[in-house]
Amino acid sequence: MQFFDNFHKKSFISFKWVFFLILYQIIASLYTIFSPLIGFMFCYLIFLTDDELKTHQEDEAKKYLAFLYLIFIELNKGFYLFSGMISFFIFYYLLSEWINTSVKCKNCIIFVFVCSGYLSIFGLNNLLAYILNEDFFILGYEYVLYCIFDFFLATIYYKDRLS
């Protein structure tokens, strides 16, 4: 019986979080000054996967919701479908461990993860646009602002990981 009580509490918290992210994404699609939170979600997925590997307990619901949010951003911003998931897996399994061991500044690690989220998705989309002979995506100043905003948000969210 205790399992169902804990499950209800966890799902309710997840529901509030999902509702906030959908509402935020609607606002971000109307006003381009708001960040789409790609870098924050990329950082979230990296830390979530690291925690799963350390504790050997998977929290599939959080991971699937994060991937669903990335797909929602891709559809909303005109990126190619599943490019966020592909770039996450490529980045995580090729570079994440090396960055964690070689960079000693914890804030710098979060900044690298946030920026790599935007740059890897942007790079993969431009690679796919080149392969499909379509127009390239333009890297503008707003991506710098998005990276800075997501970095501050990730720093606040992961303040306990920084110590």
**pLDDT, tens digit, 9 for 90 and up, residues 92-106:** 999 999 998 898 888
The count of other CB atoms within 10 Å of the CB of residue 11 is 11
The tokens describing 47, both together, are: 């830390």
Kindly state the percentage of the chain with pLDDT values over 90.
53
For residues 148 and 39, give the distance between their C-alpha atoms in angstroms, rounded to a whole number.
10
Res 141 pLDDT > 50: yes
For residues 141 and 31, give the distance between their C-alpha atoms in angstroms, rounded to a whole number.
15
Q: How many domains does the chain have?
A: 1
Q: Which of 9-23, 116-130, 148-162 has the highest mean pLDDT?
A: 116-130
The count of other CB atoms within 10 Å of the CB of residue 144 is 12
**pLDDT, tens digit, 9 for 90 and up, residues 14-41:** 678 888 888 998 898 888 889 999 999 9
Radius of gyration of the chain (CA): 16
**pLDDT, tens digit, 9 for 90 and up, residues 62-89:** 888 889 999 999 988 889 999 999 999 9
The tokens describing 149, both together, are: 């905003």
Model pTM score: 0.85
Query: Whole domain around residue 79: which residue ranges?
Result: 2-162
Identify whether the C-beta of residue 37 lies closer than 8 Å to the C-beta of residue 73: yes
For residues 83 and 39, give the distance between their C-alpha atoms in angstroms, rounded to a whole number.
14
Q: Which residues contact 114 (CB under 8 A, 6 or more apart)?
A: 39, 40, 42, 43, 147, 150, 151, 154
For residues 95 and 37, give the distance between their C-alpha atoms in angstroms, rounded to a whole number.
21
For residues 45 and 88, give the distance between their C-alpha atoms in angstroms, rounded to a whole number.
8
Q: Which residue from 77, 78, 61 is spatially nearest to 28, judged by alpha carbons? A: 77
